[in-house]
Amino acid sequence: MSKVLLKIDGRAVEAKEGMTILEAAQSAGITIPTLCHHEKLDPYGACRICTVEVEINGRTRYAVSCVYPVEKNLLVRTRSAKVDRIRKMILQLLLCHAPDSEQLLDLAKEYGADRDRFEQETSFCIHCGLCVRYCAEVKQKNAVGFINRGTKREISFVPELAVLECWRCKECFPLCPTSALQAAYVFIESLKQGDDSPALLSYNK
Amino acid sequence: MDNGRIEQIIDKHEGAASSLIQILLEIQSENHWLPKEALTRVSERLGVPLTRVLHIATFYKAFSLVPKGRHAVHICTGTACHVRGAQRILDAVQDTAGIKPGETDLDMRFSLETVNCLGCCALGPVMEINGKTYGKISPAETAAVLQKYE
C-alpha cells in the first residue's frame, strides 16, 4: 500500500491509500465529531456531522470525511466558520427527532445549536443506521432493518427473528446515539412487569 | 396465489439475488399484493435477509403489503386534471365504489388511488382502470365505466 501525504489542520499526516479522511485524522489524534461512524462497520455517511472543509488545488469544498478517501496534497480543515455552521444546522435538525439525546446535546453545546430552533417531531431515531448495519455486518442476523422511505422511514424489527436472537444480544442498544432502542425496550419490559416498575412510573409522570 | 406459482417465478429467475425486484414485481402483478408468506419464501430462496426484502418492498410504491382489489382505479389529480374537475370525478367514484383513495372495498373489487400525472394532460380529467385510460370523463359517466369491471 502506498503512502499518501496530506495536511489536516496544518499538520502533515501520513495515511495509507484507501483510508478515509476521518481515519487519517483519527490516526493523527485529531478529533472529528461523528454519530453514524463505527470502526467495525463500513462507512455509511448518514449523519453528515463529520463534514470538513477540503482544499484541492486551491479550490475549497465541503466533504463528508467518513466516506471521503484521502488524496495527495489534500488540505483539510476540521473546524472553520462554515463547517461549524453546517454542523450546527445538522444538529438542530437532528434535535427535532431526539431532543434529549445526551450525545446530541453535548455536540449542540459545542456548536451553539439551539434544540428548539425547529418544531419538534420526536421519533427518537436519527436514522444513523448503526443498529441496522451492526446487526447485518457484525452479527449477521438481520433482525432489524429500515422500512418505508423519506419522511416515513423508520427502523423495524422482524418479530420472528427478534424473538430468537435479540433478547440475548442487545449489542445494538449501546450503539444508539439517541438511546431510542433502549428506551423502547425498557418501556415494553416495564409494561410486562406491571404498573409499579420504576421505568413506567417515570414515564407516566 | 399458491406457493407453486411463487416457486415457478423464482425458478424462472434462477434464484438469483439480483433479480429480487423483478421477482417481487411479478408476484405483485399476478397477485396484486405481496403476502408475508411470499416475502418469506423469496427471502429464503434468494438468500436475501427478510429485513432487506422488507426494506425494498416498503420502499417502492409499486409494491403493496396489504391486499388490493381485482381492479386498480387510478384517478389523476395532477394540475391539468385538477383544473378540469378531477375532484368531482374522485367524489363520484368514491360515492359509487364506497371507498376513499388508498382503500379497497370488502368484495376486493376495486382499489382506489389518486395519482399525480398520467402523462396525457390533454385528455383531462383522466381515470385509469387496470391500465386502460378513460379521458375527458364526466362525473356522471364514471358509474357506467365502473360497472364494466366485475
Residue A205 predicted with pLDDT over 50: no
Chain A nearest-CA distance from B44, in A, is 13
Taking an 8 Å Cβ-Cβ cutoff, which residues of chain A contact chain B? 132, 135-136, 142-149, 156, 158, 161
**A128-151: per-residue pLDDT in tens?**
999 999 999 999 999 999 999 998
Q: What is the pLDDT of residue B116?
A: 92
The mean predicted confidence, pLDDT, of chain B is: 91
Per-residue DSSP letters for B19-84? GHHHHHHHHHHHHSS--HHHHHHHHHHHT--HHHHHHHHHH-TT--SS---SEEEEEE-SHHHHHT
Q: Do B54 and A132 touch (CB under 8 A)?
A: no
Partners of B17 on chain A (C-beta within 8 Å) are: none
From A98, A95, A99, A181, select the one nearest A132 (Cα to Cα): A181
Partners of A145 on chain B (C-beta within 8 Å) are: 49-52, 54-55
Q: What is the pLDDT of residue A195?
A: 55
Give the C-alpha separation, B100 to B87, whole Å.
12
Q: What is the pLDDT of residue A1?
A: 64
Out of B51, B58, B59, the one facing A142 most closely (by C-beta) is B51
Residues 6+ apart with CB under 8 A from B42: B6, B10, B20, B23, B24, B27, B48, B53
Give the C-alpha separation, A3 to A14, whole Å.
7
Residue A182 predicted with pLDDT over 80: no
Q: What is the pLDDT of residue B79?
A: 94
Out of A135, A136, A147, the one facing B54 most closely (by C-beta) is A147
Q: Do B50 and A161 touch (CB under 8 A)?
A: yes
Partners of A144 on chain B (C-beta within 8 Å) are: 51
Q: What is the pLDDT of residue A168?
A: 86
Residues 6+ apart with CB under 8 A from B45: B7, B10, B15
Predicted confidence band at A194 (pLDDT cuts at 50, 70, 90)?
low
Residue A100 predicted with pLDDT over 90: no
ipTM of this predicted structure: 0.79
pLDDT greater at residue A90 or residue A123: A90
Q: What is the pLDDT of residue A204?
A: 43
Q: What is the pLDDT of residue A2?
A: 84
The grid coordinates listed for A194 are 406491571
Helix (H, G, I), strand (E, B), or coil: what is residue A194?
Answer: coil
Partners of A142 on chain B (C-beta within 8 Å) are: 49-52
Partners of B55 on chain A (C-beta within 8 Å) are: 145-147
- Give the mutation candidate from B58, B63, B64 for the A interface (greatest A CB count, under 10 A): B58
User: What whole-number percentage of chain A has pLDDT above 90?
Assistant: 61
The answer to whether the Cα torsion of A106, A112, A115, A118 is positive or negative is negative
Q: What is the pLDDT of residue A200?
A: 44
**A55-75: per-residue pLDDT in tens?**
998 899 999 999 999 998 899
Q: What is the pLDDT of residue A167?
A: 83
**CA torsion angle for B119, B122, B125, B128 (degrees, to 10)?**
-40
Domain boundaries, chain A: 3-78, 80-122, 130-204
Span A97-118, average pLDDT: 91
Q: Do A136 and B49 touch (CB under 8 A)?
A: yes
Span B2-17, average pLDDT: 90
User: Is B50 an 8 Å CB contact of chain A?
Assistant: yes
- Taking the domain A3-78, which CATH number applies? 3.10.20.740
Q: Do B59 and A158 touch (CB under 8 A)?
A: no
Residues 6+ apart with CB under 8 A from A21: A6, A8, A32, A52, A54, A63, A65, A66, A68, A69, A70, A74, A76
Annotate B103-144 with three-state secondary structure.
Answer: CECCCCCEEEEEECCCCCHHHCCCEEECCEEECCCCHHHHHH
Predicted confidence band at A96 (pLDDT cuts at 50, 70, 90)?
very high
Residue pointed to by grid coordinates 451492526: A134
Furthest CA-CA distance within chain A: 65
Domains and CATH numbers, chain B: 3-59 (no CATH), 71-147 (3.40.30.10)
Give the C-alpha separation, A99 to A120, whole Å.
8
Predicted confidence band at A201 (pLDDT cuts at 50, 70, 90)?
very low
**B84-115: per-residue pLDDT in tens?**
999 999 999 999 989 999 899 998 899 999 99
Span B27-56, average pLDDT: 92
Residue B126 predicted with pLDDT over 50: yes
* DSSP designation for A205: -
